[in-house]
Structure 1
């Protein structure tokens, strides 16, 4: 523990000792006065406790108030949201569907924008847009305004590859290209390092129209300590979208999104309308980290002092019918 104003603390300590000394002197003087009159000074232990307890509370409260002026502080572990969050948006043609108004992608973008704005500066964001391939549209940054601008630029196009989305997100987190190994050739899995404070938020309707294997890609994420939270945007009943002059039916594939999340100890969240999508963002379990920071204790000391003064006053009024 330390104080921001050591000089004031020294004065406070002297004042506290003076208060205690003054109280002891008054009690001894009172005892001598009673002895001089021939009156007994012996009292039962209970009466002595009742006589001194309120005053002890007042003295302690006065000491705490004096110490609080010196602004004491302690270095404590403080939990706060921190780390890296990569928002991976499905921008395939199926995200034009309007079963989530005004459209799946528009609702996802609006909720994501609010989510970014609500996070502290200690959370860094990256943005990945994916269809049949994947494109990093915002590198990891603490600039939340740049992240919001990147989200607003997203447009629908092409098919869907959830595997590419995960690999592109891992590339952003690891800072180097990440690909799935060729199992047939015996190629070893890449060593990405460990990123226990990173989370991928994968927003999609879950319709996977191309490789690589999304669950295998999620396995790479799990080994790197990266958790994937999947958000299913759309309804199970689905909707119809026009692609190249054709009407194509599209519906939410929850099974695949659930498998991806579970592979990394993450969670799947269904968002079948704009409000639930907003609620999903607010309930996302971001990584918490602890950091030792100096915490000022002035408020705590003053609060305890006020409590002691209140209790002491109640005891004095109850026992003696007066405060002093």
Structure 2
């Protein structure tokens, strides 16, 4: 596992594009000044040893030196040992609806995009809890097993779209059942399933699945994505106003089934959260989850981080040596050598 011991130094990298921009401005002004002073070709003959490209090369080599020094100060490290540690928290399985109706845009930019943002915010607020991810449409699949690796969770979330499951539908019950089976085997841990969907369940008995979860000590929370008035479901490029239609040619309007989600949460001993105000909705959800008693759990983390700054420092030294060897002026002994010009006598 890779990390920086002092990541705050990485902010210094902002000076690199600033210096590059200033160099570009200064170079243009210098060129303009030379053009005003006299004919560039005449000036070049008066200064045969002057080079226009070498100072630029030396400048960008020096920028590489600065980048390497900043990375060295940040302290790059690699974790060399994976250990099991004790942490107090709960286990959370997030079940995300990826059916086509989640492309509806009654909440911007779309129900699915808003749901992914909600999960990002939720994961950012977790500390020692374990989190897993299930995606579902007509069927349910485990996208990410239960883990404390929050960066990996965010990475998996970013790849989700409505095309990852070929079987369309909204099987909320199957998602809850999959969540029940996806928790760790550790006993006496408080667990919760968070179902994020528009609630258009057409496949199974989600109420029965929520009751089964409660029997196993698992709370079921629901987060409603969408508005009761609904919106059409885009097909293909949404900018072309192509929408899903029924067999009679009428545009299908997908509506938030709030009553269904409230009923699922009620039977799942959880709460229904409306995500129309995403920040408040996630804060409310975190408040509910924080009321669950934290239990000591096993978590695998990388320890014994080894410093790797010496390699980047060596690279900086190498760039400095190259910069020292490149002179700003042409070498008077080598300036007449042109490896790419054909010898005139040989041409004859």
- Among 181, 194, 213, the alignment partner of 1:201 is 194
Contact 1:204–1:231 (Cα < 8 Å) also in 2: yes
* 1:90 equivalent in alignment to 2:94: no
Distance between the aligned counterparts of 2:211 and 2:187, measured in 1? 13
Bigger CA radius of gyration: 1
* 1:220 equivalent in alignment to 2:212: yes
- Among 106, 111, 114, the alignment partner of 1:99 is 106
Distance between the aligned counterparts of 2:257 and 2:89, measured in 1? 31
Shift of 1:288: 2.5
Distance between the aligned counterparts of 1:81 and 1:87, measured in 2? 19
- Which residue in the other structure is 2:141 paired with? 135
Distance between the aligned counterparts of 1:253 and 1:101, measured in 2? 18
Q: TM-score w.r.t. structure 2 length?
A: 0.52
- Which residue in the other structure is 1:170 paired with? 180
Q: Write out per-residue CA displacement over residues 161-184 of structure 1, whole angstroms, 9 at most, x where no aligned residue.
A: 111110111111266xxxxxxxxx
Unaligned runs of 5+ in 2: 1-86, 236-242, 246-250, 297-348
1:23-102 map, 5 Å? 82-102=89-109
Contact 1:195–1:224 (Cα < 8 Å) also in 2: no
Unaligned runs of 5+ in 1: 1-79, 176-192, 292-324
Distance between the aligned counterparts of 2:162 and 2:295, measured in 1? 39
Shift of 1:272: 2.1
Aligned residues: CA RMSD: 2.2
Distance 1:195 1:169, change over 3 A: farther
- Which residue in the other structure is 2:260 paired with? 256
- Which residue in the other structure is 2:159 paired with? 153
Distance between the aligned counterparts of 2:258 and 2:115, measured in 1? 17
Contact 2:189–2:295 (Cα < 8 Å) also in 1: no
Aligned length: 193
- Which residue in the other structure is 1:289 paired with? 294
